[in-house]
A = this chain, B = another copy of it.
Amino acid sequence: MKKHIVVQKFGGSSVANLDRIKVVADRIIESKKSDNNLVVVVSALGDTTDELEEMAFKLCPTPPDREMDLLMSTGEQISSALLAMAIKARGHDAIAFTGPQVGISTDSAHTKARVISIESPRIRKAHSRNKIVIVAGYQGLSPDGEITTLGRGGSDLTAVALAVALKAKVCEIFTDVTGIFTTDPRVVKSARKIKTITFEEMLEMASLGAQVMQARSIEVAKRFNMPIHVRSSFVKEEGTMIVKANPKIEDVAVRGVTTNASEAKITITAVPDKAGIAARIFTEISQKDVNVDIIVQNVSQSGLTDISFTVPRKELTKALAASQAIAKKINAGQVSSDKTVARVSIVGSGMRSHRGIAAKMFETLAKLKINIDMISTSEISVSCIIEEKHAKKATEALHTVFGLGNTK
């Protein structure tokens, strides 16, 4: 019988120190017993990535991207070698590879490279000798032979891309939570682990603040229909399956509620209401590397309009400076900002077939006398900007109203 290939990925918190590496080694060996061929992708130990980055910035305010990748890729090289050793100490055979060694080819966009192809004869050879294959996550090789890295969270992408290339049965993402939850269990006690979620719901939740998996890796899994199993490194129980939409998945209107309390709002008042003015504003702001989230433009009165938008709170200072500069150039009025806003969102592909979901959300917030400042919708989500102090109350109410806490 042909063996299945299973790809497993262990994040930085799972290999934070030598004791955890030993726990992970035990976990991997147990998986090996089900007689699959294993490929284990590993992140850097705990805070290594932050420490390396800090050293670089202390030496050079704008470190060259190429050398940055040379530096940062060592974190995963170290953890992969150590994990192979821990497995060997337990009497099993493992072999560790860097990204380049297993043929992960990327483009040349250092620090945020994209995977182009994977040619992995060395993995197949190692499997034919019954070895557990450990791969350093987050890295690859550019066409001109340079070491590249795939950006923060890039080990997820390594795992999914390898799973796709090797036609794995499943890609398991081991992390410090037991799965994807209907909402943040640290905030809402009745939060429940989701058994199955679709790729597009997961993508939407990731973009709205759920930080369990890197969004790009979910996109790749969706494109190639590679099932993902998000589960705990420490607790032995089933986690959450991320799969293609299919009739077997429980039909609910709303799959989850996400909260993002690190937003800030900027308003530019009395903007001359001319064609192309919004484009001009947001082009200039994005050139300052500010990520604008929700944009609302008020109805124009007497040729003037107010434009409000939200940005990550940590980018507020530069966003504000950019806004004031552009406001002056286009003869707009005052620029004001508000640091105490939060975004609450509901996500679910069921919204396509269930009607009145958005209305139910607004009604729920209204009953709590929570004022909705801005609204943004996508095909499978609705987001409201509200005062930050109401965020927890709003999240709890929405979680209850959409029946997320009381189903099994």
The segment from A66-74, A280-288, A289-297, A347-355 found at the interface with B is A66-74
Could you say which residues of chain B place their CB within 8 Å of the CB of A303?
none
Copies of this chain, complex-wide, total: 2
Q: Does A1 contact B (CB under 8 A)?
A: no
Assuming A71-B78, A101-B145, is B59 touching A85 (CB within 8 A)? yes
Q: Does A274 contact B (CB under 8 A)?
A: no
Residue contact B55 to A18, C-beta cutoff 8 Å: yes
Choice from B73, B86, B147 contacting A60 with Cβ under 8 Å = B86
A81 CA to B80 CA, complexed, in Å: 20
Residue of B nearest to A84 (CB): B67
* A374 close to B (CB within 8 Å): no
In the bound complex, how far is the Cα of B63 from the Cα of A163, in angstroms? 28
Q: Inside 8 A of A60's CB, which chain B residues have their CB?
A: 85-86, 88-89
Q: How large is the interface on A (under 10, 10 to 19, 20 to 34, 35 or more residues)?
A: 35 or more
Q: Which residue in B59, B74, B89 is a CB contact (below 8 Å) of A86?
A: B59
Q: Does A189 contact B (CB under 8 A)?
A: no
Q: Does A169 touch B at the CB level, under 8 Å?
A: no
Q: Does A58 sit within 8 A of B, measured CB to CB?
A: yes
Q: With A67-B96, A101-B145 known to touch, is A56 a contact of B85 (CB < 8 Å)?
A: yes
**How far is the CB of A14 from the nearest CB of chain B, in Å?**
15
* List of B residues within 8 angstroms of A73 by Cβ: 77
Name the residue on B nearest A83 (C-beta). B59
Q: A21 to B68, alpha carbons, bound, how many Å?
A: 16
A27 smallest CB distance to B (angstroms) = 15
Residue of B nearest to A75 (CB): B74
Q: Which residues of B contact A78 (CB under 8 A)?
A: 52, 71, 74
Report A24-75 residues with CB < 8 Å from chain B CB.
Answer: 52, 55-56, 58-61, 63-64, 66-68, 70-71, 73-74
A4 at the interface (CB under 8 A from B): no
A82 in the interface (beta carbon within 8 A):
yes
Chain B residues whose CB sits within 8 angstroms of the CB of A257 once the complex forms: none
A383 lies within 8 A of chain B by Cβ: no
Distance (Å) between the CB of A137 and the closest chain B CB? 14
Using known A-B contacts A67-B96, A70-B98, determine if residue A21 contacts B59 with beta carbons closer than 8 Å. Answer: yes
Say yes or no for A95: interface residue by CB 8 A criterion: yes
Residues of B with C-beta under 8 A to A56: 81-82, 85
Closest to A45 in B: B55
Which of B21, B70, B80, B89 is in CB contact (< 8 Å) with A70?
B80
Q: Say if the beta carbon of A22 comes within 8 Å of chain B.
A: yes
On whether A22 and B70 interact (CB within 8 A), knowing A84-B64, A145-B101, the answer reads: no
Q: A52-B78, A67-B95, A74-B74 are in contact. List 15 more A-B contacts (CB 8 A).
A: A18-B59, A22-B59, A56-B81, A61-B89, A66-B95, A68-B81, A70-B77, A70-B81, A70-B98, A71-B81, A71-B82, A71-B85, A73-B77, A74-B78, A77-B77
Closest 10 CB pairs of A and B: A71-B81, A60-B85, A60-B89, A74-B74, A70-B81, A67-B81, A59-B86, A63-B85, A59-B85, A67-B84
